[in-house]
Structure 1
Amino acid sequence: MEKKYIGLVLLISVFIGCDQEKTAEPQPDLKVKVVQPIQEDIIIEKDFVAQVYGYRDVSVRARNEGFLEAQTFQEGGFVKKGQQLYKIDAEPLREAVIKAENQLERNKVNLQRAISDLNRIEPLAKINAVSQKELDAAKAESKALEALVNSSKANLNISNLRLSYASIQSPVDGVVGKTLVQVGEFIGRATDNKILTTVSVIDSIRVEFFITENDYLAFSKRSQENQSKLLELPLRLVLSDGSVFSELGKIKFINREVDNITGAILVQAIFPNKKHLIKPGQFARARLGVSELSNALLIPKRCVSEVQGNFSVFKINQANRAEKTRINIKEKYKDFYVVSNLKPEDKILYEGLQMVKDSVKVNPELVEFKSQFLTK
C-alpha cells in the first residue's frame, strides 16, 4: 500500500514538471504594423463657413400695374434672356396706345394746317400784303404745333413701351426660381411692388464668407513671401456631405474694412459651376491655405493617443520594443498631425495600440499609410 502511494506521488510530480516546462516556453513576439513619418512641404488650410449665391441673382418685378393673366415658365427650369415669364392684362395699356396714336394724328393735322398758313402768309408778307405781326404769329403757331407733334410721338412711344411691359421677360439666361405670385393676382402697385421670382446665373457661383483679422494678416504675409497676389490664392469648396468640390475658386474681392463689432472681413470668391451641381442658398465651407510649412514631419492621426491633452505614440526602438513617447503637435493637416520631436527614420506603431504596452517586445511590419486625401 505504501509503495503504491509513493508511486502515485512520483507520477503526479512528473506531470507537474512537464506542465511547468510547457508554461516556461517563450511566447512569440506580438506582430504589429508600423509606419515611418512622412516629410514634405505642405500648405496648412483652414475652413470658413460660407454661403453660396448665384453669380447673378436677378429679382423679377412688374413694371406695370395689372391683373396677372398667365405664368409661362416652369419653376426651377432654365430660361433664356428675353423669354416671357408672366403676362399682365394688357387691355388698358392697348387703350392708352390707341389714345396716344389719335392724339398724334390730330396734332399732325394741325401742324400741316399751320404749315400751309405759313406758306401762304410768307409771300404776302414780302409784298406788305399782310403785317409782320401776322407772319410772326403764323411762324409761332407752326413751331408750337411741331413741338406738340414731337410730344405726342414721345407719349406714343411711352405707351407702346408700357404695353410691352405687359409681357414680363427674363433679364438674363439662368435658372428661374419659385413663383411668388399667382395667376389672377393684382401686381405692380407702387406701394407693394414685390418680387415675382428670381433668375440666377449659375454657370459660376459666388461664395461669401468671413475671415478674422488674424487670418487676413496670415494670408497677406504668405502672399508677400511667395511674391503672389492675395486674390490669386486657390480656394476649395467643401460641401455639406464632406466632399470637396472639383473646381478651384478664386477670391474676387476682400472688403475694404474690418467689422468693428465682429472683427471679421467679408471675402467673396467665384467658382466655375458648369454642371450646375452647386445651387444658390447652399451652405458650404470655403477652404483656404493659411500658411506653408517646409519639410514638415507628418504622422497619421490614428497613431496618436491623447490623455488629458497630452499626446503620445509608441515608437519601436532598435531592440523592437515599444516605447511610449510624448510628441509635440504643431498643426493638423488632413488626416495627419504635424509633429516636431520625431525623426523620418522612426518607426511608429500604426495598428495594435490597444494591445501594446510600454517596453513590450514586438515583431514590427513596416507598411505605407494611404491617406484618404491627396497629399501635395
Structure 2
Amino acid sequence: MRKILNLAIVLSIFISSCHHKEEHGDQNVKFVATSPIKTDTTVFREYVCQIHSIQHIELRALEKSYLQNIYVDEGQFVKKGQMLFQIMPVIYRAEVQRAQAEVDFAAIEYNNTKALADSHVVSPNELALAKAKYEKAKSELALAKAHLSFTEIRAPFDGLIGTFNDVRIGSLLDEGELLTTLSDNSKMWVYFNVPEAEYLNYALQKRQDKPLKVLLRMANDQLYDQEGVIETIESDFNSETGNIAFRATFQNPNRILRHGQTGNILMPVPLKNVLLIPQKATYEVLDKTYVYVINNNNQIEAREIKIGAELPHLFVVREGLSEKDKILVEGLRKVKNKQKIRYEFEPLSKIISELHSIHAE
C-alpha cells in the first residue's frame, strides 16, 4: 500500500512539473514584431475583359457561282490585296465581252450621228439620243467589269484568316454566302466593365496629358508583355448592371493575342499615405480581421482592423492601427489573447524584403 502511495505522489509531481513547463515554456520563445508603415503605393483593381481585333470582318461571296480556287489556309497571315478565293468567272467574263461590244457599237453609231448632225442632216435630238445610248453602254461595261472583279476575293487589309465556313473547291456559292473571317491583330481592343464608383475615382484622378496605362493578365495567369492604354469610355452606363464599358488598346507585335480571347485587366489605383502591414500578421474570426497588438507591458491584445486593399504579401489598413502600434508578425497560433511575450522588433521594410526574396525563389 505504501509503495502505491509513493508511486502516486511521484506521478503527481511529474505531471505538475509538465504543466508548469507548458505554462511557462513559451515565455522563453522570442517572437517577431513590427510596426505599420505609412507610404504611398499603388494597388491594382482587376476586371474581366474581352479581347477583340481592331478590325474583324466577314468575307462573303459577292456573286452566285461555283468556287473555283482557294489560295489560303485557315489561320494563315495574309497581306492587303492578296488573292484569297476565286469564284468561277466564265459567265462574268462573257458579260464583260458583250458589254464591250455594245460600247463599240454605240460609239460607232454616235460618231456617225455626230457627223450627220454637223452637216445638218439629222436633228440635235437624234445626236443627243445617240450620245445617251453610248453613255449607257459604257456604264453597263463598267458594271460588268465590277461583277467580274467580284469573282476575285482579296484581302482588304493585312490579317489572319479565320475558319472556313464549310466551303470547298467546287461548292456552289450563293450571293452573300459567308466564306471566312479576316482579323487585323496588329493592335487589340480590350473591353471591360467598371462600376460607377470606381469610374468616378478614375475620372477624378485622370490627367488629360497622361493617359492611364493598364496591364493584361492572360488566361494562363501570365501578364502580357505589353502595356495597354485606355483610349475610350462608353457614353452611357448600363442601367441593369450599373457598369460602364472601358476600351484599352494593346500593341500585338508577336500576334499572341487573338480575336475572342478573354483575360483580366489590371487597372492601377494610386493610394496616398496609407498604412501597410504583412498579411501573415492577421487572422480571421467570423469574417472579421484581427491582429495582436503589443502593449507597453509586452502583453498582446487582439484588435479588429478594417482592410482597405490587398497587395502581394501586404494589406492596406483602413481602420484600427497607427504607425506607433507594434504588432505580432509570427507565431499567432502559439499565443493567446492577453498573454505576455518576449519579442524582437524588425522594421517592416526588412520583413517585406524577406517575403519578396522567399517568393521569388
The normalised TM-score by structure 2 is 0.82
The question of 1:324 aligning with 2:302 is answered: yes
Distance 1:18 1:266 in 2: 72
Partners of 1:297 and 1:338 within 8 A in 2: yes
1:256/1:17 CA distance change after superposition, 3 Å: closer
**Residue in structure 2 matching 1:361, options 327, 333, 341:** 341
Deviation at 1:20, TM superposition (A): 9.0
- What one-letter code is carried by the residue in structure 1 that aligns with 2:203? S
Distance 2:14 2:95 in 1: 118
Deviation at 1:297, TM superposition (A): 0.4
Give the gaps of 5 or more residues in structure 1. Answer: 123-133
Distance 2:116 2:144 in 1: 32
1:241/1:62 CA distance change after superposition, 3 Å: same
Deviation at 1:30, TM superposition (A): 2.2
1:172 aligned partner: 157
Map 1:223-372; keep pairs closer than 5 Å. 223=206, 228-229=207-208, 232-289=211-268, 292-317=270-295, 321-339=299-317, 340-344=319-323, 346-358=325-337, 359-364=339-344, 366=346, 367-370=350-353
Partners of 2:31 and 2:341 within 8 A in 1: no
Query: Tell me, what secondary structure is at the counterpart of 1:328?
Result: strand
Distance 1:144 1:150 in 2: 10
Deviation at 1:277, TM superposition (A): 2.1
Distance 2:34 2:91 in 1: 82
**Residue in structure 2 matching 1:214, options 197, 201, 207:** 197
Partners of 2:71 and 2:83 within 8 A in 1: yes
Distance 1:210 1:21 in 2: 65
1:186 aligned partner: 172
1:260/1:21 CA distance change after superposition, 3 Å: closer
1:91 aligned partner: 90
1:169-227 deviations in Å (ceiling 9; x for gaps):
111111221111412222242xxx2432221111211111222233322322333xxxx
2:147 aligned partner: 162
1:260/1:326 CA distance change after superposition, 3 Å: closer
1:129 aligned partner: none
Q: Larger C-alpha radius of gyration, 1 or 2?
A: 1
Distance 1:118 1:326 in 2: 106
Distance 2:35 2:72 in 1: 61
Distance 2:158 2:191 in 1: 22
1:127 aligned partner: none
Percent identical: 25
Distance 1:288 1:159 in 2: 54
Distance 1:68 1:337 in 2: 63
1:101 aligned partner: 100
Query: Tell me, what secondary structure is at the counterpart of 2:46?
Result: strand
Distance 1:143 1:31 in 2: 111
1:22/1:116 CA distance change after superposition, 3 Å: closer
1:278/1:33 CA distance change after superposition, 3 Å: farther
- What one-letter code is carried by the residue in structure 2 that aligns with 1:78? F
- What one-letter code is carried by the residue in structure 1 that aligns with 2:333? Q
Deviation at 1:306, TM superposition (A): 0.6
Distance 1:86 1:255 in 2: 38
